[in-house]
Amino acid sequence: MASIDGLPPLREVIRAHGLSAKKQLGQNFLLDLNLTAKIARLAGDLAGSDVLEVGPGPGGLTRGLLAEGARRVLAIEKDARCLPALAEVAAAWPGRLEVLNADALDVDVAARLTPPIRIVANLPYNVGTELLTRWLSSDWPPFWESLTLMFQKEVAERIVAKPGSKAYGRLALLAQWRTDPKIVLTLPPEAFTPPPSIHSAVVHFTRLEAPRHPADPKVLARVTAMAFNQRRKMLRSSLKGLVPDIETVLREAGIEPTQRAEEIPLEGFCALARRLAG
């Protein structure tokens, strides 16, 4: 059956352009166009939105985004071998796909897109958390409305983790402070070509207009870094040196100095950051 865009199946695209997967670029491709369309739908209503896609590879998810009605897609791909395949996708959707051959870590994307902007990507695992941390640490509200991103399942679980669990830490606090992150799909290794060694999961982040609890981002980042760098220690000891009388400051924030980082909810860390800033 012909696909909606009239382009060949992805297996053929990969063969025709010699796109053997490169491990160092985190290349695990999605070849099922029903699945890539499903991921595009998980991003919400794309009609009327510009979409940033990082790492389009042979273009499976890109085709899903365009078929699901994205107004424009900016796709940033580091591997120049993928450009001819992506040029074919661009030709099938005139004026709607721009491809940049670059490292996504080096591009100022906000300047190239028109709001509302959604970010959707099957991220290269080696740059996934770095890009996510940047997108979550910018001035607020950020340039994007939502993020719909594939991660290793273990990373996705760290993003949505709650206090008291092993997965709870800085990434959970950063994500949950100013967004509502949810795991919306999990995928087995066989969904990818070649299959990675681990399961994967798609996380959808809806941005909140304002943080859940007030705090200075830099102070919050500093205090959570210190607390979780020694997560098994009591806070009176892991945060020693931050201010002369840390025990009093902790108590004023409603935290017992003998508690450990992984027991403290987001609200507690924000209260502590406010005390330290004030």
Interaction of residue 30 with ligand SAM, rule CB under 6 A: yes
Interaction of residue 49 with ligand SAM, rule CB under 6 A: no
Q: Which is nearer to ligand SAM, 56 or 268 (CB)?
A: 56
Cβ neighbours of residue 118 under 8 Å, at least 6 residues apart? 43, 44, 46, 49, 50, 51, 52, 70, 144, 145, 146, 147, 148
d(CA 264, CA 273): 13
User: Is 241 assigned a ligand-binding role in the annotation?
Assistant: no
Interaction of residue 83 with ligand SAM, rule CB under 6 A: no
d(CA 89, CA 70): 14
Cβ neighbours of residue 218 under 8 Å, at least 6 residues apart? none
Give the shortest CB-200-to-ligand SAM separation in angstroms: 9
**Residues touching ligand SAM, count (CB under 6 A):** 23
Give the shortest CB-167-to-ligand SAM separation in angstroms: 22
User: Is 55 assigned a ligand-binding role in the annotation?
Assistant: yes
Q: Which is nearer to ligand SAM, 60 or 169 (CB)?
A: 60
User: Is 122 assigned a ligand-binding role in the annotation?
Assistant: yes
Interaction of residue 122 with ligand SAM, rule CB under 6 A: yes
Residues annotated in a binding site for S-adenosyl-L-methionine: 28, 30, 55, 77, 103, 122
Footprint of ligand SAM on this chain (CB under 6 A)?
25-30, 54-57, 60-61, 76-79, 82, 103-105, 122, 124, 127
Residues annotated in a binding site: 28, 30, 55, 77, 103, 122
